[in-house]
Amino acid sequence: MSFADIQQQARQSWMRFARPDVPRVLVGSATCGRAAGALDVLAAFREQCADDPALKGVDIHEVGCLGMCYAEPLVEIRGSEGSSVLYQGVGVDMVPDLVREHLGRGKPMVEHAACLMAGPPVEGLSRFQDLPMIRHQLRVVVRNCGIIDPSNIDHYLARGGYSGFTRALGMDQDAVIEEIKISGLRGRGGAGFPTGLKWSFARKSAGDVKYVVCNADEGDPGAFMDRSVLEGDPHAVLEGLLIAGYAIGAGHGYVYCRAEYPLAIERLRTAIAQMREKGLLGRNVLGAAFGFEITIKKGAGAFVCGEETALMQSIEGKRGMPRSRPPFPAVSGLFGKPTNINNVETLAAVSAILEKSGAWYAKIGTEKSKGTKTFSLAGKITRTGLIEVPMGISLRTIIEDIGGGVLHGKEFKAVQTGGPSGGCIPAKHFDLPVDYEHLAQVGSIMGSGGMIVIDHESCMVDVAKYFLEFTENESCGKCVPCRMGTQHLLRMLTDIAAGRGRVDDLETIRKIGDTMTKASLCGLGQTAPNPALTTLNSFMDEYLAHIEERKCPAGVCRALIRFSIDAGQCTGCMACTKACPVQAVAGKKKKPHRIDQNVCIRCGACRQACKEGAVMVE
Amino acid sequence: MAEIHLTIDGRTVTVKAGATVLHAARQAGIPIPTICDHKDLNPYGACRMCIVEIEGVRGFPTSCTTPAAEGMQVRTRSPELETLRRRTLELMFSGHPNTCLVCPHREACESMRPMATKAGRTTRCGFCSNREECDLRNMALQAGGRDLNLPTLYAAHNLERDDPFMDRDYNLCILCARCWRICEKIHGKPAISIINRGRQARVGTAFHKSHVHSGCTFCGSCIDICPTGTLTDRFARWHGKADTRADSACILCPEGCSLTAHVKGGQLVATAMTAFEPDSSLCALGRFGYAQIVNAPTRLLRPTIRDNGESFSVDWDSALDAAAAGLSKHESALGILVSAAASREDRHLYHLLAQELGAKFAAIPATPAGTKPLLPKWVTGPKKSRSSALILSGDFLEDKHLAGLDFLLVIDGLPSPAQERADVLLPAALLSEAEGTFRTASGQIKDLARSSRAPGMARPEWEILWDLGQKLGLKSMAFDSLDHITAAVGEDPAPQAFADAPRHDVRTLPAFYRGHRTADLVPALEAFGLSATPRPLKQDVSIEGFQLLETRELAPNMHLLRIKAPQVAAHAKPGQFVILMAKETSERTPYTLADWDAEAGSITLILEEVGRSSRELALLKAGEVLAHVSGPLGKPFPVAKKGTVVLGGGCYGIGAILPLARALRQAGNHVLSVIEASSAYLLFWEEELRAVSDEVRVATKDGSRGAYGGVQEVFQQIVDQQPVDIFIAVGCTFMMRMVAELTKPWNVPTFVALNPIMVDGTGMCGACRVSIHGETKFACIDGPFFDAHGVDWDELACRKSAYAREEVEALPQAVDLSALMFPGAARPRCGCGR
Ligand SMILES: Cc1cc2nc3c(=O)[nH]c(=O)nc-3n(C[C@H](O)[C@H](O)[C@H](O)COP(=O)(O)O)c2cc1C
Ligand code: SF4
Ligand code: SF4
Ligand code: SF4
Ligand code: FES
């Protein structure tokens, strides 16, 4: 079958799926949706529809993630009237109503809806692309996520999938690389190295056997962009890998995926089997003189295995430990052969670029940072989720417009980007354009795209300590600056948080941080001090308060705070008494309560429980 | 091969393609500090000491991993590089107990303690068996002052000393990975590797198996390549650095592996591989057993003859006369039985002797575990067919073979039952004690070097045989020199190799050496299934008696022992001590009473693990019974109201001053307790002391807690602030001496608790003799407290180190093999309080 036939067939299958007169239910059941109960909701829909003979024809599908984590589980319903409505926060108890009203009677339930996805307008519902969270986004990498059934290759094909690859196949290999260079795409795995340039190195390396590797070992705490793409649109990544393989002359690709992503691995397996069925893998891919195979490798869960040299060691069955470069993987990589390694998001962008053209991609973004970038928005923000924005968008737009501002309208203090390798950007840089250069300028990094919003109730020492706890644990232990440096940084941060800090610790943190940045072997150690160094630079007063006044201004560090109850505000509702795990709060009903400081363990449960805001922290 | 030209520090260097920047710098004589790099290993790039700056290359690449490239511009020295290297070194040392390097008293202390203390855990250079050979230490000392002032982060890994030959203390490990890289290089699949991550990262076997079960062949190369004191040869470790090295070969099996003998003061302390190459590896016996055989305490020392059923030691001449006389008399029925584990020269002379005397001759080959050598018919056959006179060079025969012999000449270095019947017994030099040549199974002839001194009057066998030949008037045995004998050997056949070379498989280690069971000579070999001569079973120990009620490691090396001893507890007074014996075979060793409870009938001691006896005690488990506790011994401290008393405690002394503080305070004194330790993590009992003192101050030798320095620095502070009526110091001799010298000019009465070697503890043996103001005293009955200003410190130091060598040799014996034999058995967990 020719590719045109394959596409034709796929379009037919997609048409049925997309036809506005067929009622259907799409349940967002990626890992994030599942965590919110999507599978129960899915089962409930199946049951309800099976019970009613009139609804036998309803198509029920699982789809990937639309990125609106705060609103999960998300269900898109299209009734016979043709309007596709996205419902948010769907619980099993809502299913009978939704089935009856929307599917049965063709009456969308506006009170549960988030937006209109497609079809005739519905009174009181804005369109998906007009939602404040979506309006500023540009969905390239996640173009299909939440829209297609990721276990159906036809859906991908019908939406232009693999046409980028067929285009590449018709081009000279160097021309493919040139196309990527034109696009200006830079690696999305963290360091931002120009992808086209990297490919050209691997292409130029001598050798018959070469490899391409997809790095799907997303290990930053709080980052889940890669997982979403793999779960919602695996073919976008696999097509990118195929193109990379063709461009550099590799016959074998590996996808190195963390074992903690079972659904992603399942989706990849299904997708690879489908590729083989369609002739997109094998000795002669689509009948061309290009052979390609893909193997999935499960990672053992060490953060450092995301580092490219460690990752390759791990694929080889050795302990995942970085080694010094040069030689670079493009010269001597997997099994000593020239290897090109790219991140999930990079490859998903590659397939889009080959489909649409490098020039198209280069129009997006800023001069040096082209295209779009995904972020996982988390922390103290109203709308958490996965977003994709053009490079150069301001932090303010991301946080205020897309994210809906700081949670509960509190004051914005800082944003942490780049996870454990990144830094904290203080509020004064609120209008900073988000791209590689500007983030670096303020001491942070793009990283893989974690973005954690911090408000005034978060302590910066505590934030730094949190990330150092992570890196101290995840340092592979090979090189001295990182292994010992993380231990000392964590020790001093712990001391400071516990009120045992000394002023000269701050100087030592700087000195050790500098040594780690310059002398560590791999990126983990080189960037591990960033959370400490950037908070120290921007929030020196907070550190000094901990050390000199033995106070935690944010009221977070347990050793330095005490909770007390403002007798004036306390109504004696006893909510705090019930919440306290150690019975430190006492008081009669309707009378002001008191906290016994000797018993209190400073967990803050009372403060959260109190509706009057009577629990004070100092 | 292509050449590459690069510039290093302004100098043009030409190297072969494939060389690294480090190679190039070395070639040009430009020094770059390295730690993980080793000439016999592939580059690894972990220590980061070898960083350089390269024009056009971002950051600071490591020269050991960076290939040299044409036109490269390298700088090895710059202020920034120096700073980074110094800080990296400091970071590395912060994970490696190192307080000696920053201690203000280092030089004085080292001059008083020339040998490292044989502590259990190495918590500083002064406790490290690698001290003399440590490059890191030199590097750190050269680097001078500190920039980061980091406290030591002690990892508190369990000590690993339950395998047959190695002691491993991974708390010293700097993760340079030399060990497992060499293991991988030599064995392909390494027995050890780096395990865990982050703070927990360390070297170890898969699944924490013991080395015996991990595929380790005990080649010892990891020990020899480790730059720190982490991995040590238990037998050799405390002997210090060898003064002589000699290449030779092992003759314990037909392989005849090359080895290097490490010799100190004429004594063989170890044998090791000649090179870090796969085909140079040694088996467990060659690497670890060889020196133990040579140093066996049972070695034969003197020629002995038997007359009328009685044995006499005689001089060589008389012994050889007696041997010659006996042989001449029994010439017709003579047999000669020797071992194949001998030099070609020895074999040849025996052979010649057999030819001359018309004797039967057999050489018994070495055999692997599980097999027994075959003996010739003329010793095992029916009585009539046997030789009635024998020359026996080894231990091959049982009583039944020996019965009815008319004449027996034994030439050997080790004892055997046959010797009791020998008419003449001649002590032979063994292994590294004799020169010669050896033909290996592969047919190669290797030189055997004479590198160590034979014990007593023992002599090389070829010398003995040569002399014997002269006594017998045998012309054919008259040679000018050993070389002549060598030349006369000719083309001897190569011995038959074992099916599997022992160096590849621990299960094929040679079971016998000259007929002696190797497991008798090297008891640890039992771990590999080699059997020793059955020994009488130990009697059951009763659970009554001096039961150990509690045992805990308070801080590294510092163990708290609570022992049931009602009589001692009932009569104990502050300042007194007890003498303990862990087992019937243990030495008697004194320990100060740190606390007691007359009602419960228990006493508490703080024991510092610094040698064999304290190790035996430290390894006892709660519920076990000590062989003996005697006490309370010594004079109690005269507690009276004096005013302000300042107590100083270091090491075990921290425990020892507790009852004193309590009693002195009860008597109405103002009590200040000062405690010292190398580093904060080694402190203990601070709170306990606070409860019985008016004030507690702390000093650490690295400044990680309290004052920077020792007790003496704090004493000085106190004197500057307030008048003091008495000083009391308990701790190591060095500390007490420093205190004595400090307080002397102040004219404040100062007492120290002396801790010389003691045996009986009752004033009879005199071992504990000390001089106070020129007068002889016995510490056990006149002390332990004496006027610090009257002590003859030099004499004390000298007497304390009198048995240094014996103490070193006693250590390897104290190995608990039961943990090894039963790998499932619970291992004592580290309880060092962290
Ligand atoms: C400690 C460490 C962890 C990393 N983890 C990941 C990861 O989880 N996923 C990833 O794609 N890249 C990770 N990277 C970056 C990769 O090493 C590499 O830069 C990336 O895969 C290159 O692909 P790109 O060119 O597409 O960015 C990590 C790097 C370091 C130093
Ligand atoms: S920087 Fe950290 S993670 Fe990287 S090699 Fe060094 S120890 Fe390992
Ligand atoms: S003794 Fe030899 S085999 Fe055993 S761990 Fe060390 S290097 Fe490996
Ligand atoms: S045990 Fe010794 S050789 Fe092995 S990593 Fe540690 S310091 Fe290096
Ligand atoms: S010698 Fe180069 S990193 Fe250790």
pLDDT exceeds 60 at position B818:
no
Of A402, A437, A455, the one marking the end of a domain is: A455
List pLDDT tens digits, range B226-253: 999 999 998 888 888 899 999 999 999 9
Q: Report the CATH number that the domain containing residue A465 is assigned in CATH.
A: 1.20.1440.230
How confident is the model at residue B758, as a pLDDT?
65
The model's confidence at residue A53, banded by pLDDT at 50, 70 and 90, is confident
| Residue A469 to chain B, least CA–CA distance (Å) | 10
- Asked if residue B171 has its Cβ within 6 Å of ligand 4, the reply is no
Contact between residue B123 and residue B794 where contact means Cβ atoms under 8 Å apart:
no
State whether A198 and A270 are in the same domain: yes
Please determine, looking at this structure, whether the domain spanning B147-294 carries the CATH number 3.30.70.20. Answer: yes
Residue range B115-142: mean pLDDT, rounded: 86
State whether A407 and A518 are in the same domain: no
Task: Give domain status of residue A141, yes or no.
Answer: no
Which distant-in-sequence residues (6+ apart) come within 8 Å of A336 by Cβ? none
Q: What whole-number distance in Å separates Cα of residue A27 and Cα of residue A92?
A: 12
According to DSSP, the β-strands at A412-417 and A450-455 are antiparallel
Residues of chain B in contact with residue A491, where contact means CB-CB under 8 angstroms, are 153
With the most atoms of ligand 4 within 8 angstroms of its CB, the residue from B228, B232, B237 to mutate is B228
State whether A228 and A338 are in the same domain: yes
State the amino acid at position B204 in one-letter form.
G
How confident is the model at residue B829, as a pLDDT?
34
State whether A265 and A216 are in the same domain: yes
Evaluate the omega torsion of the peptide bond into residue A327 and state whether it is cis, within 30 degrees of 0: yes
Task: Give domain status of residue A401, yes or no.
Answer: yes
State whether A53 and A68 are in the same domain: yes
Report how many domains make up chain A: 5
**Nearest C-alpha neighbor of B230 from the set B151, B140, B134, B164:** B134
According to DSSP, the β-strands at A211-216 and A252-258 are parallel
B46 C-alpha to ligand 2 centroid (Å): 8
How confident is the model at residue B821, as a pLDDT?
35
The arrangement of strands across the sheet holding A412-417 comes to A385-390, A372-379, A450-455, A412-417, A423-426
Task: Give domain status of residue A142, yes or no.
Answer: no
Task: Give domain status of residue A152, yes or no.
Answer: no
Residue range A249-268: mean pLDDT, rounded: 95
Atom 5 (ligand 1) nearest CA: A306
Where exactly does CATH 3.30.70.20 map onto chain B?
A: 147-294
Nearest-CB residue to B46 (from A319, A480, A488): A480
Q: Left (φ > 0), alpha (ψ -120 to 50) or beta: where does A194 sit?
A: beta
Task: Give domain status of residue A154, yes or no.
Answer: no
The residue with tokens 């609103």 is A71
Residues of chain A in contact with residue B91, where contact means CB-CB under 8 angstroms, are 480-481, 484-485, 488, 512, 515
List pLDDT tens digits, range A259-295: 999 999 999 999 999 999 999 999 999 999 999 999 9
Nearest-CB residue to B84 (from A478, A484, A515): A515
| Residue A284: domain span | 161-361
With the most atoms of ligand 3 within 8 angstroms of its CB, the residue from B216, B230, B504 to mutate is B216
Q: What whole-number distance in Å separates Cα of residue A112 and Cα of residue A89?
A: 8
State whether A467 and A450 are in the same domain: no
Q: What whole-number distance in Å separates Cα of residue A253 and Cα of residue A243?
A: 11
According to DSSP, the β-strands at A339-343 and A293-299 are unpaired
List pLDDT tens digits, range B9-50: 999 999 999 999 999 999 999 999 999 999 999 999 999 999
Nearest-CB residue to A483 (from B65, B148, B201): B201
The model's confidence at residue B820, banded by pLDDT at 50, 70 and 90, is very low
State whether A451 and A466 are in the same domain: no
Q: Report the CATH number that the domain containing residue A404 is assigned in CATH.
A: 3.10.20.600
Q: Where are the alpha helices (DSSP H) in B367-492?
A: 377-380, 399-402, 461-472, 482-489
First to last CA, chain A: 73
- Which of A471, A478, A508, A521 to mutate to test binding with chain B, by most B CBs within 10 Å of its CB? A478
Nearest-CB residue to B197 (from A473, A479, A480): A473
pLDDT exceeds 80 at position B757:
no
With the most atoms of ligand 3 within 8 angstroms of its CB, the residue from B180, B189, B192, B231 to mutate is B192
List pLDDT tens digits, range A392-415: 999 999 999 999 999 888 889 999
Number of CB pairs, chain A paired with chain B, less than 8 A apart: 108
User: Topology of domain B546-633, per CATH?
Assistant: Elongation Factor Tu (Ef-tu); domain 3 (2.40.30)
B253 C-alpha to ligand 3 centroid (Å): 20
Task: Give domain status of residue A470, yes or no.
Answer: yes
How confident is the model at residue B162, as a pLDDT?
82
Among the listed ranges A5-14, B465-474, B626-635, B811-820, which one has the minimum average pLDDT value? B811-820
List pLDDT tens digits, range A101-134: 998 888 999 999 999 998 889 989 999 999 999 9
- Give chain A's mean pLDDT: 93
Ligand 4 atom at minimal distance to the Cα of residue B226: 3
Helix (H, G, I), strand (E, B) or coil at B758: coil
Can you point out the beta strands (E) in A64-166?
75-78, 84-87, 113-118
The model's confidence at residue B734, banded by pLDDT at 50, 70 and 90, is confident
**Nearest C-alpha neighbor of B455 from the set B319, B292, B295:** B295
Both tokens of A594, joined, read 């008191």
Of A327, A361, A395, the one marking the end of a domain is: A361
- Between chains, do B88 and A319 touch, taking CB under 8 Å as contact? no
Q: What whole-number distance in Å separates Cα of residue B109 and Cα of residue A323?
A: 42
Tell me what ipTM this predicted complex has: 0.90
pLDDT exceeds 80 at position A166:
yes
State whether A448 and A595 are in the same domain: no
How confident is the model at residue B637, as a pLDDT?
85
Q: For chain B, which residues lie within 8 Å of any Cβ of chain A, measuring from their own Cβ?
A: 43, 45-48, 51, 59-62, 65-67, 80, 84, 87-88, 91-92, 94-95, 147-150, 153, 174-175, 177, 193-194, 196-202
Q: Where are the alpha helices (DSSP H) in B473-533?
A: 482-489, 518-521
The model's confidence at residue A243, banded by pLDDT at 50, 70 and 90, is very high
Query: Per CATH, the architecture of B304-513 is what?
Result: 3-Layer(aba) Sandwich (3.40)
How confident is the model at residue B826, as a pLDDT?
33
- Asked if residue B216 has its Cβ within 6 Å of ligand 3, the reply is yes
- Asked if residue A302 has its Cβ within 6 Å of ligand 2, the reply is no
State whether A584 and A504 are in the same domain: no
How confident is the model at residue B761, as a pLDDT?
64
- Between chains, do B201 and A477 touch, taking CB under 8 Å as contact? yes
Query: Using CA atoms in the order B415, B419, B424, B427, what is the torsion angle rounded to 10 degrees?
Result: 0
Contact between residue B22 and residue B52 where contact means Cβ atoms under 8 Å apart:
no
State whether A261 and A307 are in the same domain: yes
- The rounded percent of chain B whose pLDDT value lies above 90 is 50
Where exactly does CATH 3.40.50.80 map onto chain B?
A: 644-802
Q: Which residues line ligand 5 (CB under 6 A)?
A: B 34-37, 45-50, 62, 64
First to last CA, chain B: 57
Top-ranked range on mean pLDDT: pick from A73-87, A237-251, B543-557, B694-708: A237-251
Where exactly does CATH 3.10.20.740 map onto chain B?
A: 3-127
Phi and psi at residue A140, to the nearest 5°:
-105, -55
Which distant-in-sequence residues (6+ apart) come within 8 Å of A588 by Cβ? A572
Closest-approaching ligand to the CA atom of B190: 3
- Between chains, do A511 and B61 touch, taking CB under 8 Å as contact? no
List pLDDT tens digits, range B370-429: 888 888 888 888 877 788 899 999 999 888 888 888 899 999 999 999 888 899 999 999
- Which of A325, A482, A484 to mutate to test binding with chain B, by most B CBs within 10 Å of its CB? A484
Task: Give domain status of residue A352, yes or no.
Answer: yes
Which distant-in-sequence residues (6+ apart) come within 8 Å of A292 by Cβ? A242, A245, A246, A250, A251, A252, A253, A281, A282, A285
Contact between residue B269 and residue B381 where contact means Cβ atoms under 8 Å apart:
no
- Between chains, do A515 and B196 touch, taking CB under 8 Å as contact? no
What's the Cα-to-Cα distance from B117 to each of A102, B39, B238, B264, B743, rounded to whole Å? 84, 32, 9, 18, 27
Task: Give domain status of residue A145, yes or no.
Answer: no
Among the listed ranges A111-125, A434-448, B18-32, B582-596, which one has the minimum average pLDDT value? B582-596
**Nearest C-alpha neighbor of B673 from the set B682, B660, B683, B684:** B660
Tell me which residues of chain A, numbers 296 to 355, contact chain B at a CB-CB cutoff of 8 Å: 302, 304, 319, 321, 323-324, 326-327
Asked if A518 has any chain B CB less than 8 Å from its own CB, the reply is: yes
Contact between residue B390 and residue B408 where contact means Cβ atoms under 8 Å apart:
yes
Q: Which residues line ligand 1 (CB under 6 A)?
A: A 187-191, 193, 195, 198, 215, 217-219, 303-304, 306-308, 341-343, 346, 448, 522-524
How confident is the model at residue B96, as a pLDDT?
93
Asked if A515 has any chain B CB less than 8 Å from its own CB, the reply is: yes
State whether A114 and A31 are in the same domain: yes
pLDDT exceeds 80 at position B163:
yes
State whether A351 and A385 are in the same domain: no
Please determine, looking at this structure, whether the domain spanning B644-802 carries the CATH number 3.40.50.720. Answer: no
Nearest-CB residue to A473 (from B175, B194, B198): B198
CATH of B3-127, one of 3.30.450.20, 3.10.20.740, 3.40.640.10, 3.40.50.300: 3.10.20.740
